[in-house]
Amino acid sequence: MSPGLNPQKVLSFTASLFRWIGIFINLSMFLFNSVLSLEVNPKFDSCQPKNCGSGPNISYPFRIPSLQQPYCGFPGFEIECHNHRPIYRTSQSSYVIDDISYGENSFRVVNEAVFNAGCPLPSSNYSFDRLPVAFGPDKADLCIFRNCNESFSVNSTISRAKCGPSEGNNSFAAIASKCDNLNWNRASCQYLVATPYLKLLEASFSLNWTGYNCMRCRRSGGRCGCENSTSVCYCPDQTHLEHCGDGKVPQTILT
């Protein structure tokens, strides 16, 4: 050691140098992690749940086209907001979505005309031609015979309708496992409407959709979406196959 160097000062300088190096390393790691945290998967951000103003939150497999990107829902599950209510439209009718159970792959709907009129006797068949769904276990057929004449008869217990387009004057209702199995004089009524029947003639009924269940993705912090007709999990870092942390799928360019 050189005669002019003070051992204590050398030790103090060395300790101070290592302390500053440690601070520099910690600061660098903090800045690096901060930059990484800013790299959020844009699809994860785009597919956050939306609401029409009332009713359930809308997320995969459903989506609101005016608020969510096409990859945020499965084809056929498009929802429209009307008067602040979520509406699903088919080729024959429109339905208000009353509730959605994402954990059970089920949702509860009521015919929009029935909802607005307050009458549980709709005037058209219930059809879900674009959806892979099935009626829930509480379903039987409510057979509504509209605008019948005096020659009307059917092999089932019937009751006169108390509401509906004809105010119930010439319309009758029967409950059966399937309306097609009933025998009736088809010339005696204008038409037959077959609708789901619930306990106590509730206006709403449940439907179950088939296919992918998103709960595993949601529990891992992700949001489900659809790419090439296949369900995927959008996570904050990027897109994964089933849940955040499993195998990643190739990223596509957003347009």
pLDDT by residue (tens digit) across 50-67? 999 999 999 999 999 999
Question: Is 87:80 a contact under the CB 8 Å cutoff?
Answer: yes
Of the chain, the percentage scoring pLDDT greater than 90 comes to 27
What is the mean predicted confidence (pLDDT) over 91-99?
Answer: 83
For position 66, what pLDDT does the model report? 93
For position 207, what pLDDT does the model report? 80
- Residue 152 predicted with pLDDT over 50: yes
- Residue 170 predicted with pLDDT over 70: yes
Model pTM score? 0.58
- Residue 1 predicted with pLDDT over 90: no
What is the mean predicted confidence (pLDDT) over 82-86?
Answer: 93
Which residue has 């499993």 as its token pair?
Answer: 246
Residue 239 pairs in a beta bridge with 234
Give the strands of the sheet with 172-176, arranged side by side. 158-160, 172-176, 140-148, 189-197
What is the mean predicted confidence (pLDDT) over 8-22?
Answer: 61
User: 180 vs 140, which has greater pLDDT?
Assistant: 180
Find the range with the poorest average confidence among 32-41, 84-93, 107-116, 163-172.
Answer: 32-41
Residue 138 contacts by C-beta under 8 Å, 6 or more apart in sequence?
A: 198, 199, 205, 206
Which among 161, 139, 159, 156 has a CA at the least distance from the CA of 208?
Answer: 139
Question: At 233, phi and psi to the nearest 5?
Answer: -120, 115
Task: DSSP letter for 20, please.
Answer: H
Which residue has 């897109």 as its token pair?
Answer: 239
Residue 8 contacts by C-beta under 8 Å, 6 or more apart in sequence?
A: none
For position 81, what pLDDT does the model report? 96
Query: Which pair of tokens denotes residue 21?
Result: 């190096």
Find the range with the poorest average confidence among 70-84, 94-108, 161-175, 208-222.
Answer: 161-175
For position 253, what pLDDT does the model report? 37
User: 187 vs 43, which has greater pLDDT?
Assistant: 43
What is the mean predicted confidence (pLDDT) over 93-109?
Answer: 87
Locate the domains of the chain by residue range.
Answer: 140-197
